[in-house]
């Protein structure tokens, strides 16, 4: 029987059905919107069925036939991935696709270097990277859109596995001319009276606020943002201090303003960075090879570049 569609076309169908938008599906899959539009049109022509209802300014909704075909397409894609994994296990090769997610706050610090090292070692692997907040990464893992995610141990669900790679204690980010910027270390009590810029990502913000609550303190939050680069620039321009667990490779904000990074003392709960996957999700050789690379690369020496250790 002649195949009337490709796995890539099915992937596009499932993505548009999930997001209800060609533009959002294209962004998630890192392809151009016209590529997805053409694939959907080809599928509709081949099947002789309308798969979507086009709603001007409201995106796209699956028809009844589209819902049935998208459900079956997702099962076909899962079966194809299983076949690829099985073949790789038998021939001992590291190849195929690797879809890696990473927490927004440190993706730019970690993923490009890991990706370069991995693709140079295993050129037959098609590597895709995605950035999201914690809840988004967990959803993507459950929907098999991601194979693995590099993130923190924040509210790990029971159906997920977390493998620790590094322990990251919190530290203060201050303007370079702040009265506390030259301290060897600080306590939360010393910081609390000053205005604070909060990194307001799901789960992350709760972690930072909980640090103060555990010490019987309440931070003076004056600004909230979900962008770490904006946090650095606001701090650099003296709108307040912030707290983080990873730091950039230089001492400046994106707009060039100098920053100071000061360790926090007082036995504060650290973040634990590691690899998150679904239970049993690290069975393929390709995934195992990437996990091994992470262990070798994100060791204590490498992590020292993005963390701040207590000097005292």
| 217-250 pLDDT per residue, tens | 999 999 999 999 999 999 999 999 999 988 877 8
- What kind of architecture, by CATH, is found in domain 7-87? Orthogonal Bundle (1.10)
CB 307, CB 300: distance < 8 Å: no
Q: Compute CA distances 14 → 1, 70, 77, 100, 285, whole Å.
A: 23, 5, 9, 19, 26
- Sign, CA dihedral 16-118-120-110, equals positive
Domain 170-269, CATH class in plain words: alpha beta
Q: What contacts 284, CB < 8 A, 6 or more positions away?
A: 85, 88, 89, 96, 147
Q: Give me the residues paired with residue 107 across strands.
A: none
pLDDT by residue (tens digit) across 35-45? Answer: 899 989 999 88
**Is residue 56 predicted with pLDDT exceeding 90?**
no
CATH 3.20.110.20 fits 98-166+281-301, yes or no: no
Answer whether 0.85 is exceeded by the pTM.
Answer: no
End-to-end CA distance of the chain: 72
Domain borders along the chain are 7-87, 98-166+281-301, 170-269
Q: What is the mean pLDDT of residues 58-83?
A: 83
The tokens describing 289, both together, are 């090879």
Interstrand relation of 160-168 and 242-244 (parallel, antiparallel or unpaired): unpaired
For residues 30 and 47, give the distance between their C-alpha atoms in angstroms, rounded to a whole number: 26
The tens digit of pLDDT for each residue in 73-95 reads 888 887 777 666 666 655 566 77
Q: Which pLDDT score is estimated for 307? A: 52
Domain pair 7-87 / 98-166+281-301, same fold: no
Sheet (strand 96-103) strand order: 125-132, 96-103, 148-152, 271-278, 160-168
The more confidently predicted of residues 205 and 109 is: 205
Position with higher pLDDT, 78 vs 170? 170
Residues 311, 132: Cα–Cα separation, whole Å: 33
Q: Tell me the average pLDDT across 175-200.
A: 96
Mean pLDDT of 149-170: 90
More confident residue, 308 or 59: 59
How many C-beta atoms lie closer than 10 Å to residue 97's C-beta?
13
Between 85-94, 149-158, 201-210, 291-300, the lowest mean confidence (pLDDT) is in: 85-94
Q: What is the per-residue pLDDT for 28?
A: 82
What pLDDT is stored for residue 260 in this prediction? 95
Identify the residue whose tokens are 């894609």: 77
């Amino acid at each position: 029987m002649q195949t009337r569609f490709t796995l890539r076309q099915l992937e596009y169908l499932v993505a548009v059905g999930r997001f209800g938008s060609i533009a959002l599906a294209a962004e998630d899959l890192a392809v151009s919107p016209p590529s997805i539009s053409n694939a959907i049109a080809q599928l509709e022509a081949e099947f002789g069925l309308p798969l979507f209802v086009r709603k001007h300014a409201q995106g796209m909704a699956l028809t009844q036939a589209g819902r049935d075909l998208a459900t079956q397409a997702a099962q076909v894609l899962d079966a194809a991935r299983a076949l690829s994994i099985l073949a790789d296990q038998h021939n001992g090769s590291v190849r195929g696709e690797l879809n890696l997610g990473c927490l927004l706050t440190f993706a730019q610090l970690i993923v490009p270097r890991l990706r370069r090292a991995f693709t140079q070692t295993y050129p037959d692997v098609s590597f895709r990277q995605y950035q999201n907040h914690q809840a988004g990464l967990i959803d993507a893992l459950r929907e098999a859109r991601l194979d693995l995610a590099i993130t923190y141990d924040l509210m790990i669900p029971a159906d997920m596995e977390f493998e620790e790679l590094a322990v990251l204690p919190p530290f203060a980010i201050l303007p370079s001319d702040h009265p506390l910027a030259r301290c060897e270390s600080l306590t939360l009590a010393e910081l609390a009276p000053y205005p604070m810029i909060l990194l307001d990502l799901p789960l992350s913000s709760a972690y930072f606020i909980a640090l103060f609550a555990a010490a019987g303190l309440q931070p003076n939050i004056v600004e909230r943002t979900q962008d770490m680069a904006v946090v650095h620039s606001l701090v650099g321009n003296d709108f307040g201090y912030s707290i983080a667990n990873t730091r950039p490779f230089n001492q400046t904000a994106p707009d060039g303003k100098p920053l100071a990074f000061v360790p926090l003392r007082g036995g504060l709960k650290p973040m634990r960075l590691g690899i998150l996957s679904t239970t049993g999700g690290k069975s393929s050789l390709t995934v195992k090879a990437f996990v091994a690379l992470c262990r070798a690369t994100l060791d204590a020496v490498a992590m020292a570049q993005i963390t701040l250790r207590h000097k005292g």
